Amino acid sequence: MDTEDTDRQRPMAALVPVVSAALPEIETFFRAFGPRADEVVEEGVFADYRRRKATNTLASRKLDLLAFGHFLSQAGLDGLIAAGFSAKLVEYPDGWRYITPGMVVTFREWLVHEGYNLQSVNRILSTVRTFAELAHMAGCLPDEVQQRIAHIHGYTAKEIINARQQLGVASRPRAKKPLPTIMGPDQVRQMKQRPMTLKGSRDAVLFCLLIDHGLRCSEALGVCREEVDLDAGVMRFYRPKVKVVQRHDLSLDTIAAIRAYLHLGGPTTGPLLRALRKGAHPFLRKRGDHMEWLPLSRFGALRITKRISQAVLLGEAWTEATDEDEEGAPDEVPNTSYATPHDFRHYWATNAVAGGTTLHDLMIAGGWSSLAMPQRYINEQEIANSGVKLKHR
């Protein structure tokens, strides 16, 4: 052992008898200090959470847990007591010691039965999981209970439809558009020209797939990066409605939009169109103890197309928003002031017919199983009064 190592060990060796002599006092100190520190932290978990959140966020959390109070009142708890109890769940951890995983699962079914929409059900359950985790940190919820609650998630669009059917709940009524929205070439071009950002380029890809290729919404959302060959200008995709796989030549606008999207950080594998979130990992969200990517849902695509098309058709100023902000899509506006994904499919088919596409070629390219549907677009191009000759006075 060299001199330097010996010198380094001398201070440690000198401390050994000191620590040994003071060991009883050290143990006494930590036995007293540890529990006191834990109590302070446990008592302050909810207070710290409230300090970190905006007023509007806290108000939204209270409303979410107020729904839990309504659920408890229908389960048999006195209404006033249930309302007071749910309000305290936001402020104090003690009430969470009575909450069980089975209660949360039943609450989820109650939300569906009461007619809450997809976004509301998933948001409310997220609030329950958040406060259950805080209660666990405060020592009011056992590890096993908190972990089981953490794995109780909401629904996808298809899952909530199935849940409603099994519970005998009617789907939420939607007013169907009587006629497709009429759009001109310049307006369609504006919709495809999105800002050069990750979100803007993602939206441009969505519009190109709908407008230039006539894909159904579900087909556009199912396009995978591995099935897109930008050098060859070809993509493969699945049509679930008719259960076939097709290849399409990519339009120049679609190639440019996808290249820009990938250059700005678009996904290199899996579904091309993803939901975006704020933060360092825009395509990911935390689910339980791991991160997962989010597909762009059919409702998300509908919000995007409605919001952007409304701005273009009405000549309004356009500002970008994250997918969470687009939940306020323009549902309460005249049907002619926005376009849906199906309107773009109608636009594509109508223009294909006007350009001279045959009925058979349109049926194949559009993924129809019979000639009846494409025949409608040919009929719409006919001038009804072309054979009328009026006698002018």
Question: Does 139 reside within a domain?
Answer: yes
More confident residue, 333 or 149: 149
pLDDT the model gives residue 41: 54
pLDDT the model gives residue 331: 46
Question: Does 208 reside within a domain?
Answer: yes
Task: For residues 220 and 316, state if they share a domain.
Answer: yes
Least confident of 133-142, 207-216, 254-263: 133-142
Question: Does 352 reside within a domain?
Answer: no
Task: For residues 143 and 216, state if they share a domain.
Answer: no
pLDDT at 39 over 80: no
Q: What is the pLDDT of residues 292-305, one digit of tens each?
A: 667 788 888 888 99
pLDDT at 374 over 60: yes
Are 139 and 38 in contact, with CB atoms under 8 Å apart? yes
Residue positions counted in the chain: 393
Question: Does 379 reside within a domain?
Answer: no
382 Ramachandran zone, left/alpha/beta (phi>0; psi -120 to 50): beta
Q: Could you tell me the two tokens for 314?
A: 């009405």
Task: For residues 196 and 99, state if they share a domain.
Answer: no
CATH number at residue 283: 1.10.443
More confident residue, 298 or 386: 298
Question: Does 377 reside within a domain?
Answer: no
Which residue range forms the structural domain that includes residue 96? Answer: 55-167
Q: What is the number of domains present in the chain?
A: 2
Q: Which of residues 106, 134, 167 is at a domain's end?
A: 167
Strand ranges (E), 138-240: 228-229, 234-239
- Give mean pLDDT, residues 308-318: 83
Percent of all residues in the chain with a pLDDT value above 70, rounded to a whole number: 75
Task: For residues 161 and 190, state if they share a domain.
Answer: no
Task: For residues 145 and 202, state if they share a domain.
Answer: no
Cα–Cα separations (whole angstroms), residue 335 to 141, 178, 203, 321? 50, 8, 21, 22
Question: Does 347 reside within a domain?
Answer: no
Task: For residues 145 and 199, state if they share a domain.
Answer: no
Residue from 113, 77, 117 nearest 98 by CA: 77
Task: For residues 144 and 197, state if they share a domain.
Answer: no
Give residue 381's pLDDT band: very low, low, confident or very high (50, 70, 90): low
